[in-house]
Amino acid sequence: MAVYSGENSVESKSSLSGIAPLEAVLFDIDGTLCDSDPIHCHAFREMLQEIGFSGGVPITEEYYIENIGGRHNDDIAKILFPDDFQRGLKFTDDKEVMFRKLAPGQLKPVKGLHKLRKWIEDRGLKRAAVSNAPRPNAELMISILGLSDFFHAVILGSDCEHVKPHPEPYLKALETLNASKDHTFVFEDSASGIKAGVAAGMPVVGLTTGNPAHLLMEAKPTFLIKDYEDPKLWAALEELDKMGGTAISTSGA
């Protein structure tokens, strides 16, 4: 195991102090607000097996992470059905219907989410959800999690010319909230999403809810956490408060 010291320590990297005073917080949805990847993976596995994809051999979790997780459905359609894009689009649409049937009974918030929600609300911070998910999925997940009144804006890939890993969705969120990238940070769980946030010029806190840490680190997050109860996160938030507090918003974004 590597030993870290000095400026290369884990502690020194687990900092958000450079963006004080904090103005806004941006969240991905799938895998970030809720651990939805197991539901998506199950739906893809069942439906792909039904049509004899890959000889009828069920896709593995590794295949899902590498080829599907965090991607927009247009990209997934091209990967799964490279010779028949329209069939791919129809397949992904049908899969989303299956996801929405399964989600109400299975979807749970990432541990500590509501504690973090209170911290954000108590400081009057601006907040937005930014996702590649289809609108019906995004709205359903936000509703199930009880966050319909929490977000000031919901920015989806369908609202943008480019989807994650392009920075446009996060840049659009900043514009919609009238927030500065210099005083905003992002929560993400996929390499694609982390790349989008970093490319938009913001620190990104990565969650290891569904993707391996080594894969996420390649996308250059500021640091990684297990969930929203991770002491590393709360140490960084406490440091933010000490460094300059928050830029309290009274506009309601």
Domain boundaries, the chain: 16-35+108-244, 37-106
The yes-or-no answer on residue 84 being catalytic is no
In this predicted structure, the answer to whether residue 142 has a pLDDT above a threshold of 50 is yes
Partners of residue 129 on adjacent β-strands: 27, 154
The percentage of residues in the chain with a pLDDT greater than 90, rounded to a whole number, is 88
Decide: 39 and 102 in contact? Cβ < 8 Å.
Answer: yes
User: What CATH number has the domain spanning 16-35+108-244?
Assistant: 3.40.50.1000
- The rounded mean pLDDT for the chain is 91
pLDDT at position 248? 54
Q: Which residue of the set 28, 37, 75, 230 is catalytic?
A: 28
Burial of 63 (0-12, 13-18, 19+ CB in 10 A): middle
Q: Identify the active-site residue in 30, 35, 37, 230.
A: 30
pLDDT of residue 253: 43
- Residue 247 pLDDT class (50, 70, 90 cuts): low
* Alpha carbon distance 130, 156 (integer Å): 6
Please calculate the CA angle 6-7-12 and round it to the nearest 5 degrees: 105
Q: What is the pTM of this model?
A: 0.88
Rounded Cα gap, residues 138 and 147, in angstroms: 11
Contact 106, 5 (CB under 8 A): no
Q: Which residues contact 55 (CB under 8 A, 6 or more apart)?
A: none
Asked whether residue 70 carries a pLDDT value surpassing 90, the answer given is no
pLDDT band of residue 68 (cuts 50, 70, 90) is very high
pLDDT at 245: 64
| Alpha-carbon gap, residue 230 to 235, rounded angstroms | 9
**How far from chain centre, in Å, is Cα 194?**
8
On the question of pLDDT at 225 being above 60, the answer is yes
Greatest alpha-carbon span in the chain: 58
Choice among 12-21, 40-49, 137-146 with the minimum mean pLDDT:
12-21
More confident residue, 18 or 1: 18
To the nearest 10 degrees (0 to 180), the angle between helices 73-80 and 85-106 is 120
Residues in the chain, overall count: 253
Task: Clarify whether 83 is annotated catalytic.
Answer: no
Kindly state the average pLDDT of the residues 40-64: 95
Tokens in use for 161? 């010319």
Kind plus residue range of the DSSP H or E element containing 176: helix 168-177
Whether residue 244 has pLDDT greater than 90: no
Q: Give the distance from CA 10 to its chain's centroid.
A: 22
Question: Confidence class of residue 246 from pLDDT cuts 50, 70 and 90?
Answer: low
